[in-house]
Structure 1
């Protein structure tokens, strides 16, 4: 083959190669465009025409890349110096058309990623610029939605009513560090976020609960989640009970525990109060049983003495029988108190009616004389008449008896003097005053003395339930009860119980 024929073949192959490249160039889904060194576009494939909404190449050739309003002056200088650039921008095609920048069939806004690089014909002679344009609208929208979602999640995280925090954990199940805490966590504990991030997580756990915390972590590592309760120590040193919902997370080969914590102080206090109430009821039943046994033993002893002692005199026999009756009456009083407590527990309703104060005090006086046969009881009812009546029920007599029994029992003298008076108010209420000369009640004990079981805890006997019964019934009658000193300057000189009641 001659030299001319070889040249023809090479030219033909070159034309085919160029034709193939142009075909790829024109059919490529990626938008390509070429501009001369002045910036005017001279070539562009179908993808770039579609991307810009241009009808044909002639419309593209009217555009100059240096006139792109999104191209910064700094990037223009770099291009003219032969440096490649890239930038992203949002193009409002409606606005571009209105301002006459170019005719386009596209509407609304689109985001483009643009890459421009100078190209050379000879080694040092710049011939123009090659551009690649990528429509990144969908990606940008997805990124914006993701960012918006992240912002919402962050907002929810920071403003959640519950405490939320994340702790990094080692492969061995050891707590490494806090990596994130929300504002509620800081608010509850008093620690700032920065303090948390620099704090060993176990510093929040009380020493007596460290073992329990370690066991909890092991379960989370095994199961992947756990709901549990634990206490933490706040910055001011107080203990805060929390319910934790914990989940194990794996991110980039690291392990984390995501914890949502809820403050449960009220729940814990309610549970503790219920547990204490159960213990108190158990103690109460033990004491009541003990007192019943004592009264029964005493009564049986007195009866046995009368039956078995052949030398007993009539006077001694009478005395033993009186003591037996006293023990039985005390048992009856204790049983009555127990009945009232049971009625209170099951909320048995009694019908309110008109109750004579004078009759109630007279009934109580008779029982007192039988209860305390070794004492002389002087009950002075000063200004109460048969006309003085209040709104109460059949349990009111027990209220009066318990108050008077309390006054007699804690007066160490053999002669007990109690003064009773009434003050009628203009609002159809009255104040009963029961004044004794006993050892008095310290001011610091006056609030708690009416509390449930407070007296029998102190004195160790069921008869001490009396004042709790009194307070229970006063509340039932929508009244009030309080304590004053008989001597304003010395509480040990005696006590005045005052009760506000509703008159008929």
Structure 2
């Protein structure tokens, strides 16, 4: 005991000041028996005086788990003659409370006596804080690694540019395909395709100004895949050093949806633009949208011409529709829609009347104003069609009346023609009987020649009536579709030549030269010789009728472009140019003031035209006033099949053709 006291005094003399001012708790012991405790130790153990523990075995204050460890460490300390590593142990206070401490061990050799010195730091609170921090760190790291976004951390180096990655979360690894250790060798340029050194400098400058920057970019994965991302970069300052924390969100799906939405929007726009209807959106009383057809209705080239204008500045209701229109407006305001309805408006731009069929529905609200969707269809054509249908109905009714009238007229002409033919034939027969017996009338005496002239005049007028009746009957048949031709294979040259020769004597008696000429000797075609005869006689009689004595008449034939051409040309008075276009129309006469020597019904040439066309040919005219006229007939060179050798032989004896000639030439007075 005396040695202990003596040792304590020596210690106190040398180290008291140092130990008492130490921030650590200090225990000096010898063979685990405590010989000194400073004030911090007394406070740490919660005792009033160090006497309460001086002389006690300090292992009693050590948690049983650590006692053997401490013994080994003290032994190690003695053997190495120095300090050992700091130990983290648990001490037990006299009151039984367990505290966590850090113990640094060393020993002193004083006058051959070894004393162990422990420097003890109470880390109970700091350890509790560490536990909390560790728990918090574990929580945040778990959060850090389990968020949906990739997180990257880079330090800003001295040159102002980001370092290689110093931390990334699990999402970044999983999404990129890189392991954490691989990331530590990568920079932002390796993974972010949108960044280069210049852009990074701008980004850091922006971060210094406003702490965070959000931008879209493209990240490249380890396997070369590209990912659309949205990055929120933030500037962090930790212990006076700057870091960039980047939170990267995969927006590939959003981008795909945006592209899909854009496609749908474009499709809807295309659909709206290609609709054959006008589509409008009116917000309040202002036009905010119109498709192309809608703009066409309004007479506008583009939306800017009419956008934000009130509808009364663009169109106004027609006076016939105004009252109904204002009722429609009230109905829409009350019910939020208007069913399909017709309306009439006036376009202010050019006062054009618009017949529109519209439907209205409430579209929603735009900037607090009532908005309506209006779909309109231009029904002007339909209205015109309805009007035309009404007009057509009226015209059809009139046409039926005209048709009935025409039928009655045709039947009348047919009946009257037949009714006239009977008395004419009776008169003609009586005249022939008188003419054949006139020489036996003794009482006529020297007046017999005078009576013969009168009889001849009567006969000629009978022929005229027969010709008129025949023409009326034929015209009636043609109109009713009952007139037909009897085609045979005939030598058209022979037919025309014989007809021409048969009237040579008649024409000569009028003092007119008749000349027939042909470039072809023979040409067999399919024709109706009787109808050809009638055509030629009609044209020759017309030529004779309007050619003065001393004139000439030419009948020529040739071939051109696969057709037979028959020309009947005279040196007569000619036809005025303005009359040539209507010469072949029915009942047209060139000069109604002509004397009876050149009278006619106006049917002959129209009948000629019809007969030529029934042969699939055509007839034309060349004429000059006071120089003459030329009628040209073109007939196609075709033959009837299976009848190539059955050639019609015409026998035109003048005496057998006298009646036909008399009938066709009955309008000519010799």
Normalised to the residue count of structure 2, the TM-score between the two structures is 0.35
The structure with the larger Rg is: 2
